[in-house]
Amino acid sequence: MCDVRPFCGLRYNLQRVPDPSSVITPPYDVISHTDRLSYYRRSPYNIIRLEYGEEQPGDSADNNKYTRAASILDAWLKEKILAREKQPALYIIEHNFPYQDTSRSRLGLLARVRLEELDNKGHIRPHEKTTKEPAIDRLNLLRACRANLSPIMGLLRTERGEMVSRLRRLARGEPALSATDNLGVKYSLWVVEDDAAINRIVKLFTDRVIYIADGHHRYETALRYKKEQCAARSYCTGDEAFNFVMMSLMDSQDPGLVMLPTHRLVKGIEHQKIARLEERLSPYFSIDGLLPPLPTSSDSIQSWLRTLETKGKRGTVLGLYGVYGNSFGMLRLKRDANLRNLMPSEELSLWKKLDVALLQRIVLQEALGIDTLEKEVKHLEYTRDGLEAVSQVNSGACQMAFFLNPTRISAVLDAADAGKRLPQKSTYFYPKTPAGLVINPVWNSA
């Protein structure tokens, strides 16, 4: 079973930091340089100073963004900017956010989860490929601060939403704190210290699997750090805090669970490959319509993406801009497309549910030759903003843009169960639980 436990978290002392909204940030990997500067200016105690510090001229092994983060954390503890929970607790976080002209709510559970190796037979399963560089950055930060600064997002697969129902019953009364981010997402946090309530929540995870939805690099970092700490000791009990990682756990059936697509931008490809693209794709895809532009780019994008979503309910459809003049092409996977030469036959039923995997294997790798990590770095960019994608193509910065519908959550979990890793940036759950609500120290067992 998954070992899910309460812990004595670090939280901002509201007597010293009365406005939690001024100190939270998104996870580091979705913060732009401009946003980082904004968070620095917002408050001298903003979590950005720990989560995503700036490099400075003259940085050395003894003085760098990681050592500075550790020093700041130590100072905040001494100055009582941060305070430690007096007894182990679980934390319920409600995310209230605007989405498609409506208001949605999603619940998450902050807890410590025992680390284990990642595979499709274990109790914790990944779904996405990772690269080494971000993992090294996060490992250096963990070594210096000895704390999980932002939670990994995990999903519990349920049939009737029993996890969200149980959390909803506990998320009553006045929250311990509330904060609002730049996008208008309001976060409310309740602290659960009652032993009976904690036990009822923990029992939900008996004989269940946790799927990593977001934060694969941070999970791999925590696992490596655990191994380092165990190797440095003559004896480990298994209950030391470094054997666990902080996760924000959510119900796969929560109606407020939103997945957004990440579109692909292509650049630097030889012109002859682009000229032959339609021919190379013809065995697999047919043109399911060319949509003309509307008076404004914003209107065009909204209309195109709505049509893409509608058509995508009847099978795999990819959007393509940059090849058909100012029109938006709709590429539909043919029913009789022979994919057996591109992927194992026993996996076809799985991959046909995953538009992003078909785009990666058929279009990017087979047709355009972007078939190594090095080529992906050179030739691909990513954005969730459809308007930005079109602007990049119109400006000549990129040659074409491929648009995707959101990946279905059930297909992501099925891929994890099968031990298959999806391409990078296949999923984007919105909104992400921010850094700065709770910190998980891993320097002792409490």
What 3-state class would DSSP assign to 401?
A: strand
Cα angle for residues 146, 151, 157 (degrees, 5° grid): 135
- Nearest 10 degrees: Cα torsion 108, 111, 117, 120: -30
Asked whether 16 and 81 are in contact (CB, 8 A), the reply is yes
Q: Is the peptide bond before 431 cis (omega within 30 degrees of 0)?
A: yes
Tell me the pLDDT tens digit for each residue of 104-128. Answer: 999 999 999 999 998 878 899 999 8
Per-residue pLDDT reduced to its tens digit, 238-292:
999 999 999 999 999 999 999 999 999 999 999 999 999 999 999 999 998 899 9
| Residues 24-61: tens digit of each pLDDT | 999 998 898 999 999 999 999 999 999 999 999 999 99
What pLDDT sits at residue 250? 97
Instruction: Name the region of 393 (left: φ>0; alpha: ψ -120 to 50; beta: rest).
Output: alpha
* Token code pair at residue 206: 């008996």
> CA-CA distance, 338 to 362, in Å (whole number)?
11
Continuous H helices in 171-247: 195-203, 216-231
Residues 6+ apart with CB under 8 A from 72: 49, 50
